[in-house]
Structure 1
Amino acid sequence: MALDANSEAFVAFERVQKSYDGETLVVKDLNLSMPKGEFLTMLGPSGSGKTTCLMMLAGFETATHGEIMLDGTPINNIPPHKRGIGMVFQNYALFPHMTVAENLSFPLEVRKIGKSQREEKIMRALDMVQMGEFAGRRPTQLSGGQQQRIALARALVFEPELVLMDEPLGALDKQLREHMQFEITRLAHELGITTVYVTHDQTEALTMSDRVAVFNDGRIQQLAPPDRLYEEPENSFVAQFIGENNTLEGTVKEITGERSCMVELDGGEIIAARPVNVSQPGERTRVSIRPERVEMDPSRLQDGAHLLKAEVLEFVYMGDIFRTRLRVAGNSDFVVKTRNAPDQVRLKPGEQVEIGWLPEDCRALDA
């Protein structure tokens, strides 16, 4: 869900900066707008500024400079409990001495909601996360996955318009985490809740989000829907951080229009690619190509494809795919992923092969 120029931003960061020591900026001049109902993920490595942004939005941290707006209202000076925002943390933050129902009742009591209405809201929230029969239990009697469902129900029980989630699935095992990803996304869209989700897990960000903001060094490097982020990275950091990616070092020889350029690789080959953040011939570049876009059988490629010689270094069976590591144009970590098919030839280290891809499947990025 993109925010067009005419739609009203529900959440907005306007030139927001954050420093803890008065010198080093953890968040640098952040501008970000979200429409109502969007599921936005802030993705990035540790220390990139994503969690600090979430904490400023929640009210647990104060912006050093700039304005944070919620539904058109500045909230910098509004305390956390008066912002009406639901929060879900990685450590669940449930009260151990209270039952599940009492945990959910707490945010309703704070808002002075009457007992009968409280009970109705509690059961509705528990039913949303399929935990209706656990109302009388204490958190210590629940599994990690069940506790996370209760934490989610508590964030939703007072029907907030905005929910913030900070690495909420980090403590769960892989299978349960994947199940909860779909549950959270389904609930957010069904209820029309605006959601800001923080994670360092790229797969989580790609599968759950309407848009993803990739953070590094206190700035958003790219803000886009998941497919565009993966297919059209705007710089080398995004290309490397999102999914698995191959890079080949080279020099730009010629730029032809907006859609292509000629690149001389360090291995001597020349290929065409789409230039991004590359302004003129002579500049160093990194050509980016996804492992699944490389063809191990060049006969399957159309005319105009690039063909390169490669040496097999490793061939790994992974069930649904084969993962081949090659030495290509000076890069010994070039990976190709091919579908597990009956006609797949099993390669051995040391074999010489020819690989190829279409020009539109690679991008010349900043070096």
Structure 2
Amino acid sequence: KRGIGMVFQNYALFPHMTIAENLSFPLEVRKMGKSDREAKVKRALEMVEMGAFGGRRPSQLSGGQQQRVALARALVFEPELVLMDEPLGALDKQLREKMQFEITHLAHNLGITTVYVTHDQTEALTMSDRVAVFNDGRIQQIAPPDELYESPKNSFVAQFIGENNTLEGRVKEIKNGIAVVQLDNGDLIDAKPVNVEKPGDRTLISIRPERVEFNRDRLKPDAHTLKAEVLEFIYMGDIFRTRLRVAGSDEFIIKTRNAPDQRRLQPGEQIEIGWLPEDCRALDAPQV
């Protein structure tokens, strides 16, 4: 059997061995001949662009280089499955993002199933073909990244994955696949009913920041809108992040693209916001 490869957060490289010896070790354990071992080590190091580092020891490498070696060691014996336990947690942001793509490309190119454990939601969405969200040891939802982000099945997943606006209320009516929800402050909004069934059900409204509009031209004529006060404008380069006071909440966020024609909202400004009903989900009420 080809076995299972593992990559740890602290790399777990043997400090007294060279890089080549670290990679050769799992092959020696499997009683592989010297010439075969050397060929596989060479291939694995080249795979992670570390071919010139075989004679060095782990202490002579940067964190990113050690991570590449740890990855190569897990792949060197061509396992059927690779387990990765937060392997990029110790890296800086730029290197972490680069390694995310490298690991994904290697897994796809080699056809190796990879189980990747992470608390970084962006990392999970970026790298995965399928994501499983756990809460207290129970799987809440398993889905492709886009489905998980855009169509959460319950309030826990909606709040856990990505940035998300939530408002609490009660279902007033459900008709033609649209729920009219009365928020706790009395405002009415339209939403897509997901796991609410009847009028009177408590619900948590979920709406992603990038799906909120303050330009009425982009809203359906019959869409409900809410009054909002701009509290804070944050310039983030490619996007604008604006914090609003909406329906009694001071933590309502909208994100807009930094485009030449995009208006920068100013603190104190009074606006109206809204969204397409299909972008807003009426989920189960949060557990108290």
Q: 1:345 aligns with which of 220, 243, 263?
A: 263
Deviation readout 1:181-222 (Å, 9 max, x if unpaired): 000000000000011000000010001000000011110010
Identity %: 81
Matched residue, 2:89: 170
The answer as to 2:155 corresponding to 1:236 is yes
Separation in 2 of the partners of 1:148 and 1:293? 37
**How far does the alpha carbon of each residue in 1:85-127 deviate from its partner, in whole angstroms, 9 at most, with x for none?**
1000000000000000000010000000000000000001001
Deviations 1:312-331 (A, max 9, x none): 11111111111111111111
The alignment partner of 2:181 has SS state of strand
**Residue 6 of structure 2: SS of its match in structure 1?**
strand
**TM-score relative to the length of structure 1:** 0.76
1:191 aligns with 2:110: yes
Residue aligned with 2:126, SS: helix
Q: Deviation of residue 267 (structure 1)?
A: 2.5
Whole-Å separation in 1 of the counterparts to 2:234 and 2:86: 32
Which residue of the partner structure matches residue 63 of structure 1?
Answer: none
Structure 1 residues 191-230: aligned runs within 5 Å: 191-230=110-149
State the distance in 2 between where 1:338 and 1:346 align: 9
Shift of 1:347: 2.5
Match of 1:275 in 2: 193
CA-CA distance at 1:83 after TM superposition: 7.8
State the match for 1:108 in structure 2.
27
Conserved 8 A contact 1:312-1:325: yes
Indicate the SS of the match to 1:282: coil
| RMSD, aligned α-carbons | 1.2
Say if 1:304 and 1:358, in contact at 8 Å, map to a contact too. Answer: no
Amino acid at match of 1:330: G
Q: Which amino acid aligns with 1:151?
A: A
Matched, 1:301 2:222: no
Q: Which amino acid aligns with 2:192?
A: R
In structure 2, distance between residues paired with 1:83 and 1:273:
50
Give the Cα–Cα distance (whole angstroms) in 1 for the partners of residues 61 and 169 of structure 2. Answer: 55
Task: Identify unmatched segments of 5+ residues in structure 1.
Answer: 1-81
Q: Which residue of 2 aligns with 1:70?
A: none
Q: After the TM superposition, which residues 238-277 of structure 1 pair with which residues of structure 2 at under 5 Å, given as runs? A: 238-256=157-175, 259-277=177-195
Instruction: Give the whole-Å Cα distance in 2 for the aligned partners of 1:304 and 1:153.
Output: 57
Map 1:1-367; keep pairs closer than 5 Å. Answer: 84-256=3-175, 259-367=177-285
* Contact in 1 for aligned 2:166/2:205 (Cα 8 Å): yes
Taking the aligned partners of 1:346 and 1:273, their CA distance within structure 2 comes to 27
Q: Counterparts of 1:282 and 1:307 in 2: how far apart (Å)? A: 22
CA distance in 2, matches of 1:233, 1:285: 14
Shift of 1:248: 1.1
Distance in 2, Cα, partners of 1:195 & 1:94: 20
Farther off after superposition, 90-99 or 319-328: 319-328
CA distance in 1, matches of 2:274, 2:190: 12
Aligned length: 285
Equivalent pair of 1:245/1:291 in contact (CA under 8 Å): yes
Shift of 1:345: 2.8
Give the structure 2 partner of residue 11 of structure 1. Answer: none
3-state secondary structure, aligned to 2:274: strand
- Structure 1: distance between partners of 2:84 and 2:261: 45
Look up the equivalent residue of 1:195 and give its one-letter code: T
Q: Is the 8 A contact 2:2 2:78 kept in 1?
A: no
Quote the Cα distance in structure 2 between the aligned partners of 1:121 and 1:83: 14
What SS does structure 1 have at the residue aligned with 2:171? strand
